[in-house]
């Protein structure tokens, strides 16, 4: 029998019979409500995210199959950690912390899409992505967390598929996120103070020399870009210095 595939992007758990999905399903003769309900059931764990879906319809029997794509692992980490954005400098900045249960939850959501052969391997893949996202796992660097997974520390939880957290654990994670945010801000303030000091000491010098000095002092590129005077301003400083002699 011939089959027709209807592809769409839906809000996780909130697909409706409205455009664009409803009008596309209408001529197919399928039970639209049942299709929508099935999609919403399959995408409920992706609430607040855009999810790619495929409705594969047998044009003869009107039977259908739903295939659900899923957001990238990094986006699931971002959602689970309740972050507006991930770390700007992977491996150097930490913006949140996740419990192993949350890692397992993401691994289960991506199980069909990841090349991992076992859930344990899928968990390690998710933890590896946490490293590039600037997210700790069980308050540890993700590389240390992977070692613990290899040692079997979380085998029981991984096998059981446990994903639930207590209210107290969720509260602790939120407090940790606030602490990490303040830590990043304090670090940025230190860099800015140091950068301003270097710029002040090198006033009148060539901009490229100042930039080199800032980089040697390991000032982040985004701070250098924000604080270092533009080329035109630097030239004006030199003119003023020359005129005062």
**Quick one: CATH architecture of 73-165?**
Orthogonal Bundle (1.10)
Q: What is the CATH number of domain 3-68?
A: 3.30.1550.10
Q: What is the pLDDT of residue 1?
A: 61
CA 197 to chain centre: 35
φ and ψ at residue 98, rounded to 5 degrees? -120, 145
CA dihedral 74, 80, 83, 86 (to 10 degrees): -20
Asked if 70 and 110 touch (Cβ cutoff 8 Å), the reply is yes
The helices-and-strands tally (H runs, E runs) of the chain is: 11, 5
The token pair at 31 is 């039970």
Q: What is the pLDDT of residue 183?
A: 82
Break the chain into its structural domains and give their ranges: 3-68, 73-165, 182-239
List pLDDT tens digits, range 42-84: 888 787 788 889 999 998 899 999 988 878 899 899 988 988 8
Q: What is the pLDDT of residue 112?
A: 74
Asked if 161 and 176 touch (Cβ cutoff 8 Å), the reply is no
Could you say which residues of the chain have pLDDT below 50? 232-245
Asked if 44 and 10 touch (Cβ cutoff 8 Å), the reply is no
Going through the chain in order, the beta strands assigned E by DSSP cover 3-11, 50-58, 64-68, 96-98, 135-137
Q: What is the pLDDT of residue 233?
A: 46
> Taking the chain, what is the end-to-end CA distance rounded to the nearest angstrom?
91
What burial letters (b/e) apply to 112-122, b meaning 16+ CB within 10 Å?
eebebeebbeb
Contact partners, residue 108, CB within 8 Å, separation at least 6: 119, 122, 161, 163
The token pair at 2 is 């011939």
Quote the pTM value: 0.61
Asked if 199 and 229 touch (Cβ cutoff 8 Å), the reply is yes
What burial letters (b/e) apply to 35-64, b meaning 16+ CB within 10 Å?
bbebbbebbebbeebebebebebeeeeeeb
Map tokens 């309740």 to a residue. 82
């Amino acid at each position: 029998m011939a089959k027709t595939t209807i592809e769409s992007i839906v809000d996780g758990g909130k697909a409706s019979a409205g455009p664009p999905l409803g009008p596309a399903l209408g001529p197919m003769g399928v039970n639209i409500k049942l299709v929508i309900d099935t999609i919403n059931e399959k995408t409920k764990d992706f609430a607040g995210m855009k999810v790619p879906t495929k409705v594969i319809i047998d044009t003869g029997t009107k039977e259908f199959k739903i295939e659900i794509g899923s957001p990238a692992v990094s986006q699931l980490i971002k959602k689970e950690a309740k972050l507006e954005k991930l770390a700007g400098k992977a491996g150097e900045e930490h913006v949140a912390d996740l419990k192993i249960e949350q890692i397992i939850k993401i691994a289960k959501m991506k199980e069909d899409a990841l090349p991992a052969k076992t859930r344990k391997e899928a968990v390690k893949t998710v933890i590896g992505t946490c490293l590039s996202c600037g997210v700790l796992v069980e308050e540890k660097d993700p590389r240390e967390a992977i070692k613990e997974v290899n040692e079997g520390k979380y085998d029981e939880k991984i096998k059981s598929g446990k994903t639930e957290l207590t209210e107290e654990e969720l509260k602790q994670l939120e407090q940790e996120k606030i602490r990490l945010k303040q830590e990043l801000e304090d670090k940025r303030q230190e860099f800015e103070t140091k950068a301003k000091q270097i710029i002040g000491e090198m006033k009148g010098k060539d901009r490229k020399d100042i930039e080199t000095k800032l980089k040697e002092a390991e000032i982040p590129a985004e701070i250098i870009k924000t604080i270092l005077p533009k080329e035109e301003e630097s030239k004006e400083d030199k003119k003023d210095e020359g005129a005062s002699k």
